[in-house]
């Protein structure tokens, strides 16, 4: 009976800790991307693409 209780406890801990670990990993990845300026770089690339498209339509 004791082992069954430990299994339930392990499942509950897993159900709580795995999503927390995923959230933490996502947060760390976003902070690192912000630190190296990735969002600004992506925005600059998108602006360049839009500007090139507009320039081509003008010609």
Write out pLDDT tens, residues 31-49.
998 888 888 888 899 999 9
Q: What's the mean pLDDT in 21-30?
A: 95
Q: Quick one: tokens of 11?
A: 């499942």
pLDDT score for 2: 66
Task: Share the mean pLDDT of the chain.
Answer: 89
* Total domains present in the chain: 1
Domain limits for position 50: 2-58
Phi-psi bin for 37: left (phi > 0), alpha (psi -120 to 50), beta? left
Q: What is the dihedral of CA 22, 23, 24, 25, to 10 degrees?
A: 50
Q: Does position 1 have pLDDT exceeding 70, yes or no?
A: no
pLDDT score for 43: 87
pTM above 0.85, yes or no: no
CA 21 to chain centre: 12
């Amino acid at each position: 009976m004791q082992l069954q209780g430990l299994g339930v406890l392990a499942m509950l801990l897993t159900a709580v800790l795995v999503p927390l670990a995923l959230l933490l990993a996502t947060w760390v990845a976003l902070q690192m991307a912000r630190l190296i300026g990735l969002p600004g770089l992506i925005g600059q690339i998108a602006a360049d693409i839009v500007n090139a498209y507009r320039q081509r339509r003008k010609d």
